[in-house]
Every structure is written in C-alpha cells, then in structure tokens.
Structure 1
C-alpha cells in the first residue's frame, strides 16, 4: 500500500521493532557484585545513622538522610544517566568518597574489619567497572 496516510510530523528513520525472541543482554557476576556493593554501602550509612546517635530522632533522621544523600550524589555525578556531565577523574573522586564514607561508618561504629573488607571489595569492583567503561 503506497498511499497509506502519513503523519504530518517528520519522524525520520523509524527503528526496526525489537524481536521478543532475541536473547537479552547477559548479566555478569561483576555487575551483580557491583549492585551488592552499592546496596551494602547504602545499608552501611543507614546502619551508622541509626546506631551513632543516643536520642532516637537524630538516629532516624541520619538513618534515612545519610543513604539518601549518598544516593543523590551518586545519581548526580556518577550514574550512567547523570544529568551533570562528569569526566573520569570526577567519577573516581565521587565514588571513592562514597566508599570511604561507608567504610568509615563501620569504623566509627566499632567494626573496623567489616569496613576494611567493604572498602577492599568496593575498590575491586570499582576498578573492574571503570576498566569496562573506558574500554
């Protein structure tokens, strides 16, 4: 049918429809480790906020506020869809600061071994992620 009705808006090239039977992108073990590290980092900040304060209301405030602040900073400067363009050095600085903050949270609670293991695993997953991004 050559004379089918056309839209008055020029859409340009229309991408071909996706095949539902096509294989999905595979999720690697490094991607899963990266997600676990991010989730544990947010949990670490929430746990620190809850246990570091004697009165209950500052504890609740920091238990919600610290991971929320870290998530917003990560979204603004580090995420793949961040609205602020950041170069590689800026991304490394932001991620290093967030990992050190979560590790220091465990240190201030009195669990330095957990903080050290977290920092080492996060550093390993961060190096692998940056190598994949820049390759």
Structure 2
C-alpha cells in the first residue's frame, strides 16, 4: 500500500501556457531552419533533425519542470536563452526579421516573468 501523500498540483497560469507554446515554436523553428538553410540531403537532414533534438535534450535535462538535473536558476536561464536565441537567429538568417524580433521579445518577456517567479519562490 502506498502511504505517500499525493503531490499538490501546481497551478498552470497563462505564462506557463505561453512558455510551452514558445518551446514548441522554437523546436519547430530549428527543424525548419535545418531543412531550409542547408543543402539537402546532407547536411540539411542532419541539422533539421539534430538541432531540434539537441534543444529537446537540453530542455529536458536542465530546464523542464521535471528536469533530470536540478540546477541553479541562472543555469536554467542560460539554457533557455540558448534555445530561444537560436530560434530567433534562425528566423533572422531565413530572412524573416519581423518573426525573429517578435519571437525574441515575447520569449524575453515571458522568461523574465518566469525567472522572477522562480527566484521569488
């Protein structure tokens, strides 16, 4: 019989939903970038699959709510900045500066809100 009390559910706010959508957008962006910015089949396929895979692994190891490694909030911020910046830079390189800037600004504001919440609690 399991005598442990269930863990309390965390309240999911609007910024949490936004952050999830930003993560998905960044991963899809890295795949699009790999396939469009590099010649196919090589190295386009490798980068189109490898870049988002690397972002997913980094996020899962250090940044996700159930991350494998419990790290300092500043390390979490560095991982987040690396993933989101790479997505914004990818849009810039693909000739879409408006998408790059809008994504970067939204990601930065969301990251600041989340970072303040993490440091406060």
The TM-score normalised by the length of structure 1 is 0.77
Q: Is 2:101 the partner of 1:122?
A: no
Mean alpha-carbon deviation: is it higher for 111-120 or for 52-61? Answer: 52-61
Aligned length, in residue pairs: 119
Give the equivalent residue in structure 2 for 1:82: 67
RMSD value over aligned CA atoms? Answer: 2.2
Aligned 1:64-103 pairs, distance under 5 A: 64-103=49-88
Q: In the TM superposition, what whole-angstrom CA distance separates every residue of 1:5-63 from its partner, at most 9, and x where no partner exists?
A: xx8xxx7xx24679xxxxx7653221111111111011110110010112234222211
**Structure with a larger share of its residues in helix:** 2
Larger Rg: 1
Q: 2:13 aligns with which of 15, 19, 28?
A: 28
Structure 1 regions of 5+ residues with no counterpart?
1-6, 19-23
Runs of 4+ that moved beyond 4 A: none
Matched residues in 2 for 1:38 and 1:15: separation? 33
Structure 2 regions of 5+ residues with no counterpart?
none
The TM-score normalised by the length of structure 2 is 0.85
